Copies of this chain bind each other. A is one copy, B any other.
Amino acid sequence: MPGKRQMQKAQTKRKIIDTAIKVYSEQGFSAPTIAIAGEAQISHGSIFVHFPTVEDLLVCLLEEFSQDIKSELHSLSESGRNIEKLLSMHIDVLIKHEGFYKRLTKEAVYLPEEVKNTFIAIQSTVSIHFLQALEPEMRAGKIKEIPFHMLFNTWLGLVHYYLLNGELFAPRESVLARCKSSLIESFLALIKQ
């Protein structure tokens, strides 16, 4: 059975992870570690007891984030497999994690390679579901004859463009929530044969 020590340790680690997600979502990834320590109400040094470097913390954060997103995508995509539902579900998952996801798209350049690759792996998972939903309609000749990866990149490009320029389209609120239907409608109209 786990002793008090082990539980306390695990609890502190969890607090660091949760607080880091919160602080990075709000302040961006250049937020100093003292901001995380302050918000989590632990000492600065504690962070380095659990994570040798901030890079290790980031990698851990993204590992968890990607697991969450992937499992959400997976369980939601069970229910229905047409393209409209899938786009809607995709946006819903992003809305749920909008703060952190937006930071990832905005600040990817400055993140370590491993973190970037984990983020790319998320898109890869999305593309698999995207393909599964689109394939029947493509076979049925309802979709324009354009390479699949182009269709997917157009969708992701559009969604990320809205995330990156959210302040322009929807100041002080969720761009995705506000623009969800017009994004989906427009994209569907574009790809239809």
A120: chain B residues at CB < 8 Å are 168
A-side binding surface: helix, strand, loop or mixed? Answer: helix
Interface segment, A11-19, A65-73, A92-100, A142-150? A142-150
Cβ–Cβ contact A190 & B154, under 8 A: yes
User: What chain B residues lie within 8 Å of A157 (beta carbons)?
Assistant: 154, 157-162
User: Which of A33-41, A54-62, A105-113, A127-135 contacts its partner?
Assistant: A105-113
Question: A108 contacts which chain B residues (CB < 8 A)?
Answer: 106, 164
Tell me if A150 and B182 are in contact (CB < 8 A). yes
Residues of B within 8 A of A30 (CB): 110
CB-CB under 8 A from A145, the residues of chain B are 189
Q: Any chain B CB within 8 A of the CB of A75?
A: no
- From B146, B161, B189, A146 is in contact (CB under 8 Å) with B189
Of residues 146 through 193 on chain A, the ones whose CB sits less than 8 Å from some CB of chain B are: 146-147, 150, 153-154, 156-162, 164, 168, 182, 186-187, 189-191
Oligomer copy total: 2
How far is A187 from B150 in the complex, measured between Cα atoms in Å?
A: 9
The CA of A182 and the CA of B153, in the complex, are separated in Å by: 12
In the bound complex, CA of A190 to CA of B189 (Å): 9
CA distance A182 to B110 in the complex (A): 29
The residue in chain B whose Cβ has the minimal distance to the Cβ of A161 is B157
Which residues of chain B are within 8 angstroms of A147 by Cβ–Cβ distance? 182, 186
Residues of chain A at the chain B interface (Cβ within 8 Å): 28, 30, 106-110, 120, 144-147, 150, 153-154, 156-162, 164, 168, 182, 186-187, 189-191
9 A–B pairs (Cβ distance < 8 Å), ordered by A: A106-B108, A106-B109, A107-B110, A110-B110, A146-B189, A146-B190, A147-B186, A157-B157, A157-B160
Known interface pairs A147-B182, A154-B154, A157-B158; 10 further A-B residue pairs with C-beta atoms within 8 A, sorted by A's residue number:
A145-B189, A146-B189, A146-B190, A150-B182, A150-B186, A153-B161, A154-B157, A158-B158, A160-B164, A190-B191
